[in-house]
Amino acid sequence: MTPFALVRVAGASMEPTLRAGDLLLARRGATVRAGDVVLCDLPPDPWGRPRPTAVKRITGTDPDDPGRWWVESDDPRAGVSSFDPTVGSLPPEAVSARVILQVRCRRWDLRVRRVGPAPARD
């Protein structure tokens, strides 16, 4: 397996940071910390169907089990997060890669930027 993954964003859960159509370069096996945008495998949905690989933000470790990660969407109105009872905190092996680069792919906007921790919220 190569150490890098190239993925295209689908959906609105990470807006405004990431938008549908953006390309992401992610490093597999990279160390992650709170604030990082990651690729992760979420548990099956309530009907037992597998979910696609998700792009989420690490918000910290689970206070009840510091070996597990809490993840969230940047847009709390879209997507699922660790606060969803069908998701909860994720084991380290469910976080497969850290996003290191974003390419905005829009007709009038082609920019490349590093992806890092979210800016502080007021």
Give the mean pLDDT of the chain. 88
| Contact in structure between 52 and 95 (CB atoms under 8 Å) | no
pLDDT at position 63 is: 93
pLDDT of residue 82: 87
pLDDT at 7: 95
Whole-angstrom distance, CA of residue 34 vs CA of residue 23: 22
Q: Are 91 and 68 in contact (CB under 8 A)?
A: yes
Where does the chain have alpha helices with state H?
A: none
Query: What CATH number has the domain spanning 4-114?
Result: 2.10.109.10
Is a pLDDT exceeding 90 seen at residue 92?
Answer: yes
Query: Where in the chain are the domains?
Result: 4-114
- Angle (nearest 5°) at CA 89 between 84 and 90: 120
Cβ atoms of residues 57 and 118 within 8 Å: yes
Which position has the higher pLDDT, 64 or 112? 64
Give the model confidence (pLDDT) of 30-86 as tens digits: 999 999 999 999 999 889 999 999 999 999 999 999 999 999 999 988 888 888 888
* Least confident interval from 14-28, 35-49, 58-72, 96-110: 96-110
